[in-house]
Copies of this chain bind each other. A is one copy, B any other.
Amino acid sequence: MTSREALVARIMEGQRRFQEAMARDRAHPFFSANLTMSQLKILFALRLNGACGGQELAQTMGVSLATMTGIIDRLVASDHVSRREDPKDRRVRLIELTPQAVKLTDEMIIQGEEFQRQLLSRLTLDELGVIADATDIMQRALAEDQSP
Chain A residues with a Cβ under 8 A of chain B: 3-4, 7-8, 10-12, 14-21, 23-24, 26-27, 30-31, 35-37, 40-41, 44, 47-48, 109-111, 113, 116-123, 125, 127-139, 141-142, 144-146
Contact = CB atoms under 8 A, between A and B. Distances in A.
A48 B27 contact: yes
Contacts of A121: 8
Contacts of A48: 23-24, 27
Contacts of A118: 145
B145 A119 contact: yes
A27 B60 CA distance: 14
Contacts of A134: 130-131, 133-135
Nearest to A22: B109
A30 B11 contact: no
Main SS class of interface, A: helix
A4 to B, nearest CB: 6
Contact of A26 (B8, B20, B109, B117): B109
A121 B116 CA distance: 26
A132 B112 CA distance: 22
B130 A133 contact: yes
Contacts of A3: 125
Given A16-B110, A30-B44, A123-B141, 14 more contacts: A4-B125, A14-B139, A15-B116, A15-B135, A17-B142, A20-B110, A21-B142, A21-B146, A24-B48, A27-B44, A37-B40, A123-B137, A130-B134, A131-B137
